[in-house]
Structure 1
Amino acid sequence: MTEPGLRERKKAKTRRLIQDVALRLFAEQGYDETTVDQIAAEAEVSPSTFFRYYPTKEDVVLADEYDASMMAALETIPPETPVVEAFRSVLRGVFAQFFAVDRDVILERMRLVLETPALRSRIMTANHEIGQIYGGILARSIGISTDDPRIAVAAGAMMGALTAVLEQWVADDGRGDLPAMMDDALAFLGTGLKIGA
């Protein structure tokens, strides 16, 4: 894997700066009370630069590089790997690395999402779309049609499990090990939801 060039590094730095400033302002003033113009001014960029990185104010909370990296990793999983195990493997490898660096940012973003109706609605739509993409990758990997209803069911179940874990983690003020909690939830899903006595 090649290292990103100077231009890409500068863009990544600007993208992260805008998001960090936005999250700080949302925490201080409230999401609805904070404008794109305020975020741009605090980040010392123009509003047009803000929109070049984030098409909407919602995107500055929701956008990250996690899914792209996880999808790329999912493409490399051997086809014979059970669907839930394939997803667990990617979460353990890729998401755990992001979490080790971005734990506080993830908590701040997820808290905002759960507390802000517009963001909560938007992430439900985004999760459905992401689930479809993950499902398509898994379908191609195991050699079945992306229209196979079992893929939609599997993707929906996995995204639902991860959403439930995120809500639990945020409610506990981020004290748990989120990647381990996600892994446990998917392992439970893989058992066929068998609950012992």
Structure 2
Amino acid sequence: MAAEPTPPPSLRERKKAKTRAAIRKATYRLAAEQGWDAATTDRIAEAAEVSPSTVVRYFPVREDILLTDENDAYLEARLRARPAGEEPLESLRAVVLEAVRTALAEEPEETLLRARLMAEIPSVRARLTETTAATGRRLARAIADRTGRDALDLEVRIFTAAALGALREATVHWAENGHADDLPRLLDRAVDTLRNGLTAPPARP
């Protein structure tokens, strides 16, 4: 039997998505032009043409405007759709690289700015740790289902946290070095490091 088609979003849902997008766009513009400290709630609200209370209702923590979006649900769905029997680390590599390449292609300036603020602003970096943990809990459910474990198993939590932590540090490294390298290549290196472990560099002649 064919799957039931996903119903289109309601008018209310479309309005909410439009408001969230306007708040994000205003925040990125202010942060890019005047710095993160200038992107206050009041100024974001003015630029997005909404009230300050609306900004707070959608994003109680200001840093979440940069760090949270609807991608967690997408990543979980893509992770669940990976081929059966594929190693969990390879599944994570595939879905994260896909998401990053899409972001770099569709929102290059926002992606670069977000990474730079993650590296430079302590409050953004601190909040990133919390949002990464939330993402990890969601992805852990998919990994647990794929491996026949419980999402609360210590091994599942360690695996997911280690993988996302490595990918986060690769992104920060990219920003700290002026985005000079290729981000997908750095993420690949991060996954390879988890897989292969750390060895001493070759001795210099």
Q: TM-score range by the shorter chain?
A: 0.7 to 0.9
Match of 2:150 in 1: 145
One-letter code aligned to 1:84: L
Mapping 1:37-186, distance limit 5 Å: 37-186=42-191
Cα distance in structure 2, aligned partners of 1:190 and 1:159:
13
Show structure 2 runs of 5+ residues with no match. Answer: none
Q: Considering only CA atoms, is the larger Rg found in Structure 1 or Structure 2?
A: 2
- SS of the counterpart of 2:63? helix
Contact preservation (8 Å) 2:141, 2:151: yes
TM-score (normalised: structure 1): 0.85
Q: After the TM superposition, which of the residue ranges 166-175 and 183-192 deviates more from structure 2?
A: 183-192
Distance 2:186 2:145 in 1: 28
Residues 91, 183 of structure 1: 8 Å contact kept:
no
Letter in 1 for 2:92: F
Structure 1, 6-15 or 61-70: larger mean CA deviation: 6-15
The residue matched to 2:50 in structure 1 has which SS?
A: coil
- How far apart are 1:36 and its partner, in Å? 0.9
CA separation of 1:126/1:168 partners in 2, compared to 1, >3 Å: closer, same or farther? same
1:20 aligns with 2:25: yes
Tell me whether 1:191 sits opposite 2:196 in the alignment: yes
Distance 1:195 1:80 in 2: 32
Residues 119 and 176 in structure 2, CA contact (< 8 A), matched pair in contact too:
no
1:157, distance to aligned residue in structure 2 (A): 1.6
1:74: how far off? Answer: 0.6
CA contact (8 A) 2:31 2:39 kept: yes
Alignment CA distance shift 1:11-1:176 (3 Å)? farther
Distance change >3 Å, CA 6–CA 51, structure 1 → 2: same
Q: 1:96 to 1:20 in 2, by over 3 A?
A: same
SS at match of 1:134: helix
For the residue of structure 1 that corresponds to 2:162, the secondary structure is helix
What count of residue pairs does the alignment treat as equivalent? 197
Distance (Å, rounded) in 1 between the aligned partners of 2:111 and 2:8: 23
Query: Which consecutive residues of structure 1, in runs of 5 or more, have no partner in the other structure?
Result: none
Alpha carbons 1:66, 1:98 under 8 Å: kept: no
CA distance in 2, matches of 1:194, 1:2: 49
Question: What percentage of aligned pairs have identical amino acids?
Answer: 36
1:170 deviates by 0.4
Q: Cα RMSD between the aligned structures? A: 2.5
Compare relative contact order (CA 8 Å, sep 6+) and give the higher one, 1 or 2.
1
Deviations 1:33-84 (A, max 9, x none): 4321111112222223323432232221212232221111011123411111
State the TM-score, normalizing by the size of structure 2: 0.82
1:158 Cα deviation after fit = 0.6
